[in-house]
Structure 1
Amino acid sequence: MLKQEADDVIERIREDLKRHGVLIGYDPEFTTAEFGCDLDHHVAQVREDPNNRVLQIAIHDEGLWHQLQQGNVYRCSVSDCRGKLFGIPITIEPREDESYTIEYRL
């Protein structure tokens, strides 16, 4: 997987999270003053139901996992982020059919 392809998948993850009410980044209507520094503004927040939290993101594409480990994906490095993407734990679960799965708490 090329860096641009990995960046595109990360953007799809961000959009999937957004559709499920999870905000990544700063939102002046939602983000509290205590949220933290600019770096924290790339951590996921729950916009709607506080119980609708993401448990983890399972990465299925080994090429994407490699790009994350190398720190090649924009603002995302497994080594730098201690195994997290947008503050959400990530794991590798190789599969042939999908790039990733987002697991939500019921």
Structure 2
Amino acid sequence: MPKLYDFKKAKELIDVEVDNADVDKVFLGTLSDYFWTAEAVWEKGKYIIDLGKVKTIAGIPGSDWDTPIINIYYSDGKEKKFECFKEVTSDEFADFCRKL
């Protein structure tokens, strides 16, 4: 089943982590193609992408085969990955992509 980035969930995760830990930067991307699909959304203490308005990350809205994730990097060198998507039907995914 296709998956779109869940920007609302991403913002909620970032806000919680920033309040509770020393976050360095945050990226969204897809798990298997992270190197090619990741884009920074938060760094240096602020959002650099408005997650309330954005529709794509690295030019894509999600994936029909891969898993969109959020990767949170901490100042101590640790990182946490979370799945960050909402499932949609193939028709909904195609319709969403046509509207981009």
Q: Same fold (TM over 0.5)?
A: no
More helix by share: 1
**Which has a greater percent of strand?**
2
Higher relative contact order (CA 8 A, sep 6+): 2
